[in-house]
Structures are given as structure tokens and as C-alpha cells.
Amino acid sequence: MRYAETGFNLEIDLTRGNIERVATDPGDTELYLGGLGTNAKILWDRVPPEVEPFSPDNLLIFAAGLLCGTPAIGCNRTIVSTISPQTLLMAYSMMGGFWAPELKYAGYDKVIVRGKSPDLVYLWINDDEVEIRDASHLQGKGAIETAELIKEELNEPKAQVAAIGLAGENRVYFASIEQGRASASRGGIGAVMGDKGLKAIAVRGRKDVNIARPVEYLELCNEVLQYIKWRNENPIPGVIPILAGLGSPQEMKIHDEKWHTENFMWGNSRVRKKGFWNKEVEEKWTETMENARTRLISCYNCPMKCGATISVPGLPTYMMKCFSKLTYTMAAFSDLDFGLRIAQRATEYGVDAYSTPQVMAFALELYENGILTDDDMSGMPSDNEGRFYWLLDRIVRREGIGDVLANGTYWAAQQIGKGAEEYAHNNIKKHEQLPLKLSMLNPIYFLMYATGEKINITQIEGQFPQTPFPTREEREEFVKDWIQVPDEKFKQYFLDWELRGENSIPYYPTVPMTCDIVDWQEKMHYIDDALGMCAGLSSFPLKPPYHIHNYPRFISSGAGIDMDEAKLTQAAKRYRTLVRAVNIRRGMRRADDKPPENHWKKRFPELEAQLLDEYYKFKGWNNQGIPTKESLHELALDYVSEDFLRRGILTDNEGIP
């Protein structure tokens, strides 16, 4: 009997219209855990680097994490993986909600889609009955509208539906997959879904998920729940409100947006509006939010209310979460009412709420500087907000200049030329980032940003504080109940970190300490993405309920796998290295490991080079960021080194040819 996982994947070949239920190897679970880990193994095995993102041979994988569908609090993430049309690398994006647990209850751990359908279709998974159904009547429909229409058509109000909107159908490079109260947005995975002619996947499950040692497992779940309650009643002093409690940024709950609006950049990620936030703005935005927010909502089996239903006059109700509340507002130099309104249309279109506002602001900056002309923008309204609506519509329909912008700022700049490249300035590995700009380089953030292949800082940073606390006394108080640290040395790192002086940024932590901290942050995110855990309860906030000390017990008692901290650390390192290997095989090298040029006002090139050198050694990579033969052998990834040697990526003496 398999525990926590079902032991079966659903293989869908849209070219042939073939559906197959395939048993999986439990040995792969022990090596790669599940979720992102086993997704990476499948992509390595079945999608060689010659395969283009819009090839029928590219796979689109929807995976429920290993512990999804069990009573583990907040464990509900679907990990969607493919080859990105925007970065040309492995894309993986997580969505919460209820879809992943429902897939487990239907009897599957993953849905693996290959091929292309000649006509628009949707997939209906109803326990053991699986159908590829016609979706021609859904063509052009919004993502949320599609989900409701499918549930009505199937007469299954409890079905969970993941769908694309018009952006996905038209292969917009930053198209998302929407699923009720959550979305998988990064990397253009919605474009791959649209290219395959797949409008939606609806799932309804009524089966059980087996637990290896139920009594022990439930005790662990109750411990987590009690800790969440205690932490919410005892917020961490001195921490900004969005991280004072637990959960992902509680954006829909708070109204004081001074920190976000004055520390993040406006427009095309260039302008900092210091002094913008005042009593008048706060009162207006509070009124807007209170009137629009119908109720706070949670994902499956989670007490943290991180999202909200939003209803603004004249528009259908939709669901919003996290910083997307502000992205359109700040790109357009507008107000919250505009941001909430345009976000509703963007959600139906199915586009990434981080990339899309920046692409539109990028276009307007090019226009203001004469690189795009009136001919390019023919028909664009004269008012600022009207311009954003106009651009959004053109992008998702790939009409006129929208056809160029639909490929994201990096590729659009290459096509436009005339100096447009200088305006596509907020990318990592060809992918738009949050508009967060800082003053002096932070070594920890530099390494997380440069080497993180999630290509999204909120999915890299985590349990180590972002800045030192002002006084030694505050730091000493913080470390007292810091049970989550994997080693006591991390407490000392934080105690010695001063605001100013010789122990401040950029001179502290030293390079080895920086490597330790970054590796800890990354490890926790990778564990979450294999287990299906919300980062807001584990890898993202300070002092979370899930950590390296209790995770092995969850895996052992839940999945029946003999696990301890050392084995879990090695497993996370194994599939993190495999993700790196997939991307190395696709051409990624050291030159790609860099944050945006103007992310920090003050940079330290020599220090940055040293940081990369030392971090590569720490991870077992050579000076081009390629995992070495020895490190691959240590991780039981000899098949990777054999492939690298055959392709000339590595040589027998570990050098680069």
C-alpha cells in the first residue's frame, strides 16, 4: 500500500486523444519526495533540451505535493511544471486552493499532458472516469467564467477547475492558469496549456488518502495548529505587519500600505514615491478595500485567511491574493480602486499579475521616450488608466503592438530595438521581477536572486530576517525561541549582524555565512514544493510552524518513508540539483546568474564575483555553475553526469571545453 501518495499518474496524450493511468515507482518518491522533485525527474527523462516550449513533445505537469490531501495544515499546493516560452528554462509555479487535494481524492498524484489537440478541449477527471471533452463553446471565455460554465455543464458544483483565459489561448508568454482563489502564474505555463489546446482541467474525487501512522500524524498536525494560534496571538515585535503573523503576506487583511508603496517602485519599476502615503491616501484606500472586500478566504485545510473575494460595482466578484492587490495600481501611478478593477479583467484573461503591469508600463515608457510612436499605439486613449486597459486588451489578443508585448519585456525589447533594451531592466533570466529596488547590495539577497531558479524573490527568501534588528537586546530576544534554525550557528549570525559598522551589509555576513543562510532558505522552499506545503506556513515567514526538525516526522508518519533531517536535506539537495541540471542542459550558465543591473543603487562587483565563486563551491558546482561529476555522484545523479559528459557540458577532468 502507498501512503500519502496514490501511486498513480494520469498520462494524457492530446494528439492521439489517449488517456492512461500509470503506476509510479515508490523508489522515486524516496529519492525526490514528490511534487517538484518528481516533476523535475520526469522533465529530465522525457523532455530533452532540443524540445521547444511550444513543441508537442513538451510536457505540462500538474502535481499534487506528497502530503496534499492529508490532514497536514495548509498542505494544498499544486506544482505546475513545464518548459517556459519566456525563459526557455524549466518553469514551475505553485497554486493553492483546492485543486491538488481533489486530484489526490480522485486517485492521482499528477496529470501529465503531452501532445496538442487539433481542437480546444478540456479534461474531466471524475474518479476513475476520465474524458477529453470538447471546449469549442468555451473559446475566448474568461478563466473564472470557464470554471463556472464547466461546473454547470457537468452538474458538479464541487468540481475543482484549473483553466486558462484568452491570454493562454493566444500563447501570451506570461499567461497564467487560474483556479478559483489561486493561480499558477510565473513562467508562462498558461501559454503552454493554450498551445496544447487545453482550456481547463476539472477534477472531482471521492477516494481516501492513506496515512502510514495516523495517530502520530494527527498529533503532529495538532501541534502545528496550536503553534499557529500561539504565534498569531504573539506576533514578532518589530516586524512589518505582513509578516507579524503567519501565512503568506496578509495583503487582503491590512490597510497600511506605507511599506509597500514607498519601498517598491512605481511605473516601469523605476520611481520610488517617498512621502506618497499619508492620512488622506490611507483613509481613501481603506474605504476602497473595505467596500470591495466581501470576505477573507483560505485555501484547503488552512486557518490562515490570506486571500479575499473582491466585488467592485459593475464587475463580477473575483478572488485576489497577496501583492497583486497593488501591482496594477503602482504600474499606472493610480489608486487602489483602479488596481482592483483592472485586476478583475486581468484575472479573467489569465495573466501574471507581476509581469503584466510591468509590460504595460514598459510600453508606455517606450512611447514617452519616442521609441514607440503614434503609429505603434494607434487608437490608444489619452487618459492614463484608459491606456492600461487598452494595452491589456491588445496584449491578450496579440493585436498590433500587443503581439510584440505579449512576449514579455525582454523579447519585446529585442524585437523593437532602437534602445528599448535599456528599458527592459527588471528581469532575471528574461523574466520580470517584483518592482523592489534597494540601496546597498545585500549579499544574502544577491545570491538568492542570482541563483534562485524559481526566478521570483518571494519564493526564495524566508526564515532568516531580511535586516538586522536595531539593538542587541532585540536580537537576543528574537533568538530565544528560534527553534526553526537547523543549527545554533544561525542564531549567532543574527546576533552579530549590526545595522551599521564593520558587521553591517555588505561586509557581513562573511561569504561562508552567506552561503549557509541562502542554502537554508532555498532548502526549505524546495522541501515545501515537493510536499505541496504553502510557503506561508513554512519557508517564507519568520518562525513558521513547519521546519527542518518536524518535517521528517511528517514524512515518516504520513508517507511511511524512513526519514530524518540528514536524509531530507540530501533529498532536497538532490532534486534542487536536478532542476539546475535541466536548466544547464538547456544552456544556462554563470552569466545568467545575476539580478537586474539596477536592483541595488550601490553594487560591489568583486564581492559579487566572490559570492558566486564560493556559493558554487558550497553547492558542488564548478565555476560556470554546473554541478560537478563528484557532487552528482554523491547525490545518486550519475545519469546526469553521464549526459553532461556525452554532450560535452562536462569533461572527464571537470573542466569546461
Residue 655 has a pLDDT of: 46
Write out the three cell numbers for 70: 492529508
Average pLDDT, integer, range 425-450: 89
Q: How many helices (H) and strands (E) does the chain have?
A: 25, 19
Write out the three cell numbers for 356: 503584466
CA distance 424 to 432: 9
Residue type, 310: I
| Radius of gyration of the chain measured on its C-alpha atoms | 24
Residue 95 has a pLDDT of: 94
Examine the pLDDT at 243 and tell me if it is beyond 80: no
CA distance 271 to 435: 10
List CB contacts of 621: < 8 A, sequence separation 6 or more.
580, 627, 628, 631
- The full DSSP string for 21-66 is EEE--HHHHHHH-STHHHHHHHHHHH--TT--TTSTT--EEEEE-T
Q: For the segment 162-178, what is each residue's pLDDT rounded down to a tens digit?
A: 999 999 999 999 999 99
| Average pLDDT taken over every residue of the chain | 94
Q: For the segment 577-601, what is each residue's pLDDT rounded down to a tens digit?
A: 999 999 999 999 999 999 988 888 8
Q: For the segment 349-367, what is each residue's pLDDT rounded down to a tens digit?
A: 999 999 999 999 999 999 9
CA distance 54 to 42: 18
The HSE-up count of residue 268 (CA atoms within 13 Å, CB side) is: 21
Q: Which CATH number fits domain 238-354: 3.30.70.360, 1.10.569.10, 1.10.760.10, 2.60.120.260?
A: 1.10.569.10
User: Boundaries of CATH 1.10.599.10 in the chain?
Assistant: 438-647
Write out the three cell numbers for 3: 501512503
The least confident of 70-74, 76-80, 116-120, 292-296 is: 292-296
Examine the pLDDT at 421 and tell me if it is beyond 70: yes
Residue 657 has a pLDDT of: 38
CB 166 within 8 A of CB 349: yes
Burial of 207 (0-12, 13-18, 19+ CB in 10 A): middle
Q: For the segment 175-222, what is each residue's pLDDT rounded down to a tens digit?
A: 999 998 789 999 999 999 999 999 999 999 999 999 999 999 999 999
User: Boundaries of CATH 1.10.569.10 in the chain?
Assistant: 238-354, 360-432
Residue 252 has a pLDDT of: 85
Residue 508 has a pLDDT of: 62
Examine the pLDDT at 246 and tell me if it is beyond 60: yes
| 613 three-class SS | helix
Q: Which CATH number fits domain 8-204: 3.40.50.720, 3.60.9.10, 3.40.640.10, 3.30.1360.40?
A: 3.60.9.10
Give, in order, the Cα–Cα distances in Å from 165 to each of 199, 338, 357.
Answer: 8, 21, 17
Helices (H), 92-249: 99-106, 143-154, 166-169, 189-195, 214-233, 241-244
Selected residue with higher pLDDT from 465 and 21? 21
CB 161 within 8 A of CB 189: no
Where does the pLDDT of residue 509 fall: very low under 50, low under 70, confident under 90, or very high at 90 and above? Answer: low
Residue 357 has a pLDDT of: 97
**Cell numbers 500600505: residue:** 257
CB 45 within 8 A of CB 57: no
Residue 205 has a pLDDT of: 98
Q: Is the peptide bond before 509 cis (omega within 30 degrees of 0)?
A: yes
**Buried b / exposed e along 601-611 (16+ C-beta atoms within 10 A):** eebbeebbeeb
Examine the pLDDT at 656 and tell me if it is beyond 50: no
**Buried b / exposed e along 464-491 (16+ C-beta atoms within 10 A):** bbeebbeeeeebeebbeeeebbbeeebb
The least confident of 252-261, 305-314, 569-578 is: 252-261
Average pLDDT, integer, range 617-646: 97
CA distance 28 to 30: 5
**Cell numbers 498542505: residue:** 75
Examine the pLDDT at 495 and tell me if it is beyond 80: yes
**Length of the chain, in residues:** 657
Name the E strands within 168-306.
177-179, 182-184, 198-204, 293-297
Examine the pLDDT at 388 and tell me if it is beyond 50: yes
Best mean pLDDT range from 180-184, 426-430, 554-558, 598-602: 554-558
Q: For the segment 277-299, what is each residue's pLDDT rounded down to a tens digit?
A: 999 999 999 999 999 999 999 99
CA distance 495 to 482: 12
Q: For the segment 113-156, what is each residue's pLDDT rounded down to a tens digit?
A: 999 999 999 999 999 999 999 999 999 999 999 999 999 999 99
Class of domain 438-647: mainly alpha
Dihedral Cα 149, 150, 154, 159, nearest 10 deg: -120
Percent of the chain with pLDDT over 90: 82
Write out the three cell numbers for 258: 506605507
Residue type, 115: G
pTM of structure: 0.96
Max CA distance (Å), the chain: 68
Would you give the DSSP letter of residue 204?
Answer: E
Residue 435 has a pLDDT of: 87
CB 483 within 8 A of CB 547: yes
Examine the pLDDT at 336 and tell me if it is beyond 60: yes
Examine the pLDDT at 515 and tell me if it is beyond 70: yes
CA distance 503 to 507: 6
Examine the pLDDT at 16 and tell me if it is beyond 80: yes
CA distance 26 to 561: 10
Q: Which CATH architecture has domain 360-432?
A: Orthogonal Bundle (1.10)
CA distance 268 to 351: 17
